[in-house]
Amino acid sequence: MFSPARSAFFERTKLVTLIGTGHLYSHFSNLALPPLFLELRAEFEVNFVTLGTAVAAANVATGVSQVPFGVMVDRLGGRVTLLIGLLLIGTGFVLMGFAAEFWQIIVLSIVVGAGNGVFHPADYSILSARVEERYMGRAVSIHGFTGYAGWFVAPGIMLALDAWFGWRGALAISGAVGLVIAAFVVWQGASLTEGAGARPVQHARFDFAESLRRSLDLVRSRPMLMMFAFYFLTSFTTASLMSFAIVAFGDLHGASQEDGGKILTAYFGAMSIGVLLGGVIADRTKRHGLVTGIVIGASAVTILLAAFSALPLLVVAISIALGGLLYGITTPSRDLLVRAATPPGFIGIAFGFTSTGLGIGGAVGPVVCGWTMDAGRPDWTFVLIAAVTALAVFTVFAVQPGDHRRDG
């Protein structure tokens, strides 16, 4: 028999692994379609703007669905909601493999995007209920790491599946993986149950009007609005870099497409390392706003350096990778800021609302930066991304310590 401490460690590890696997798949689904764009363009005879519409539709669906799923998490629990999200993503990708017209790809992208809206509300609800306070920073950092790992591996896996099975097979297999993960959620359901105290106090009769009033008060509060803005601004940054960094590196610094891809890969790889470092930092300080503000400000400076065409490509690559590392460091502290400002029983709605900013920022960023790229000014693109990142500093500093409701 294991000691209580060792048993708790194994349970915590299993919990974080299960949630992390779902989160990795969630981020994987964000980048599953773009590697197939050339084949989809030839198959359906559409332009790149139309192809981009599918990605934008998924991001909007993710943003819009997070608040309703947050409410569902607070009423039904994270496990049930997580299962729904996995089923939506998996089924959506499987059906994409049978699409006869491109509008069907767009509709199914909306289904996949809606399913993606589950993960932040559900995951943080379960983690907050099941992980001890002293381990929360590391748990959140591992959760973030798995998400960035999904971004990191998606292009290579999708291109490999495409080479072996074609684009239809690649999408169908991706969907089947989601359905297998959903089966594991059912099988290991007890590990993902929040337990007593995780959701709002259960009265004999649920007062919907009172719950709605408290939810609206929460999302209109200064910390929630400021953190929504932070999520929006930083998602604007990452989505814009995903969309145009490779082309911008080529136009501004003469980088080949392969070298540009390597720089972007280094950005996400460094981000993955940063989120693990950020978890250690978050567990050792309660000044999450200060950590997030200073580090994201430094990240803005590193991105700005890419706007200077006179700099050697190696310097730009190091600067961009450093920016990814710094952004990753902020992730655990960012999420703990939201948690600290949330009363018990409203974790789902809090993360649903603030994470809506991720979906909206991810949809707006590429459109705005697409304008600067079409104008032939890749340097403006990096300046704009850096400026938006710098604005995020003010949002976290606007969240005062007195706003936090659980500084435990």
How far are the Cα atoms of 22, 114, 194 from residue 84, in angstroms, in the given order? Answer: 12, 10, 17
- What would the pLDDT profile of 25-67 be if each residue is shown by its tens digit? 988 988 888 888 878 888 998 876 777 778 888 888 887 887 7
- What would the pLDDT profile of 347-365 be if each residue is shown by its tens digit? 777 877 887 888 788 878 8
Domain 1-195 identical in fold to domain 207-408: yes
Lowest-pLDDT range of 16-30, 142-156, 200-214: 200-214
**Is the domain covering 1-195 a CATH 1.20.1250.20 domain?**
yes
Name residue 406's amino acid.
R
Q: To the nearest whole percent, how much of the chain has pLDDT over 90? A: 27
Three-state DSSP class for 187? helix
**Mean predicted confidence (pLDDT) in 16-22:** 80
Confidence of residue 117 (pLDDT cuts 50, 70, 90): confident
Confidence of residue 107 (pLDDT cuts 50, 70, 90): very high
Q: Which residue ranges make up each domain of the chain?
A: 1-195, 207-408
- What would the pLDDT profile of 237-285 be if each residue is shown by its tens digit? 988 887 788 888 888 999 887 788 788 888 888 988 998 898 888 878 7
- What would the pLDDT profile of 194-236 be if each residue is shown by its tens digit? 554 444 444 445 455 666 677 777 778 888 888 899 999 999 9
- The CATH H-level superfamily of 207-408 is MFS general substrate transporter like domains (1.20.1250.20)
Distance from C-alpha of 150 to C-alpha of 173, rounded to nearest angstrom: 16
Residues 322/380, Cβ–Cβ less than 8 Å: no
204 CB-near residues (< 8 Å, 6+ apart): none
Distance from C-alpha of 215 to C-alpha of 168, rounded to nearest angstrom: 42
Residue 232 confidence (pLDDT): 94
